[in-house]
Amino acid sequence: MAATAVVAAALKSASDRRTMDYDPTVWGDFFLTHVPQTVEVVKAWEEQIEVLKPDVKRRLSAPIDHLAERPNLIDVVERLGLDYHFEEKIDHVMRQLVHQNNNIDDTDDDLNTVALHFRLLRQHSYNAPSDVFYKFKTNGGGFKEEMVNDIEGMLNLYEAGYLRIKGEGVLNEAIEFTKSHLTAKAAELESPLAGRIARALKRPLRKVTDKCEHLFFISFYEKLASHDLALLRLAKLSFNVLHNLYQTELRTLTKWWLKLDTPTNLPYARDKLVERYLWALGGPWEPKYSVARQLAAKMTQFGTLMDDVDTTFCPEHSC
């Protein structure tokens, strides 16, 4: 009788459980009904990409006539979302720069060169001393005011500041100095540079996902009079191929989710599968991590289900 009473009490508790009344997914069956590009179209894009890639490889392999030549190219390639095509070449260039002791020249007084090089080295996990920025400070301790007209240099110094580690006061100062002057400059300049400054001030590189930066930078780069047509074309084609891949992954995930029939089995649970996928996409976005992205989306969605079960049956987390 005691066991029967326990079961009855449990069933009553389940029937009386609190439901959170979550809104249904805003995506509906979009990714199930949406058909990505045909295989033929994607293949044509990929063939065009293969035609354009050798020129970029050649430029990444060219002799360094000036310290900033290849780092500038690497920076543009990475911000356009093209680095996954040239990972080995970029790694080779970065190692070469370090091994040749050309990573940061102590005699170089060009702010843009030093700041860009510092940022790239730290982004690629190489050691880069922050004391290289002391030469841009006055005897009084502040940064030199004449730097404020070097917009690219200021932007790279600002971004470099967000790669600081504990105890690097010079980079804390760099952020404050560049932020105030870039804010003032943004009000004076015209698009597209003003837009880039505003974007950086709101979302520095270290605080924005790669794919969001790629989309923004493609649009910004296209507006530059000095843009490279081949690089721009390669960036757009690659973005289209990856966008199609992500849609295909979401279509696969949606089919998997529907087979679980969660609305019937767990009607009180949230459907946040697409949001969990976007969360996963904020990390490894390259094509080779397709399986990892989908697994991460599934695992985090299951975590959401477990949280909803816990909240529904044990609202005070007392079970």
Amino acid sitting at position 199: R
| The model's pTM | 0.85
Query: Which pLDDT value is given to residue 74?
Result: 95
Give mean pLDDT, residues 85-102: 82
pLDDT at 67 over 90: no
Residue 229: alpha-carbon gap to chain centroid? 24
**Residue range 62-227 in CATH 1.50.10.130:** yes
Per-residue pLDDT reduced to its tens digit, 104-159: 555 578 899 899 989 999 999 998 889 999 999 998 889 999 999 999 999 999 99
Token pair 């590009």 in the structure block, residue = 37
Bridge partners of 137? 143
Closest alpha carbon to 76 in 286, 244, 220, 245: 220
Per-residue pLDDT reduced to its tens digit, 100-112: 545 455 557 889 9
User: Measured between alpha carbons, how far is 100 from 64 in angstroms, rounded to an integer?
Assistant: 11
Domain boundaries, the chain: 18-37+238-313, 62-227
